[in-house]
Amino acid sequence: MRYFLKLAYNGANYHGWQSQPNAESVQECIEKALSMVLREPIAITGAGRTDAGVNAAVMYAHFDVNEPLKDTTTLVMRLNSILGKDIAIYDVLPVHDDAHARFDATARTYKYFVHTEKSPFLYPFSWKSTCKLDFDLMNEAAELLKGYTDFTSFSKLHTDVATNNCKITHARWEQEGGQWVFTITADRFLRNMVRAIVGTLVDVGRGKLTIEQFCQVIEKKDRCSAGTSMPGNALFLWKVEYPYID
């Protein structure tokens, strides 16, 4: 039997989602909790791989068990009692046997939070800009992302993906109270992609790059030409969409 976990986490204390040697990950913590409660070895597969320090308002992961789960509500409660305060399990959902948390996702949305005036209440989940940013110009540049498919310039080097092509369907900055929020949706994302895009858009907002130069950065297909990778603490995986989950 296959099930989906719906969960969220604060990534500050983890070296990303994916299990790795000699570093604590979100995946590893959840697998240990599931294995303890269900009394059998459990491996989970996530919808994506968030980097160290990056947060998830919503993440999905699938796992298999030998027998159907009788009480998923109690399972959620038991998992939450074992896991630390920075990981929350929201639901356990039965799915068809070949459902896949990563490959079946049709779209993913990330949000990056920025504030321009010092606030003790926004840190650490928002990045403080030390200079004025032209968000209208940044939106002009962000809109152009939808016209490209190859985002090699915004990808971490030496990754194991077969292609650097992605289809971006939404990319926009909007003001929400005392913050500016960048929302970006695509069918898939490359490692470090959103943080590199935001860093390059910030260069546009600071006047370091023109719109034409921003396009040239993308067209060069060279990570060294793009802006600095932004801190992960202000980045959230916000939504993952599936054809069989509302």
The span from the CA of 226 to the CA of 220, in Å, is: 9
Q: How many CB atoms lie within 10 A of CB 205?
A: 23
Distances 105 to 100, 168, 195 between C-alpha atoms, Å: 8, 14, 21
Q: Is 177 left (phi over 0), alpha (psi -120 to 50) or beta?
A: left
Is residue 181 classed as helix, strand or coil in its secondary structure? strand
Angle between helices 211-220 and 135-144 (to 10 degrees): 40
The span from the CA of 185 to the CA of 96, in Å, is: 26
Torsion of CA 88, 156, 151, 112, to 10 degrees: 40
Question: Judging by DSSP bridges, how do beta strands 55-64 and 45-46 pair with one another?
Answer: antiparallel
Q: Which positions are annotated as active-site residues?
A: 51
The span from the CA of 225 to the CA of 23, in Å, is: 31
**Sign of the CA dihedral running 92, 18, 185, 118:** positive
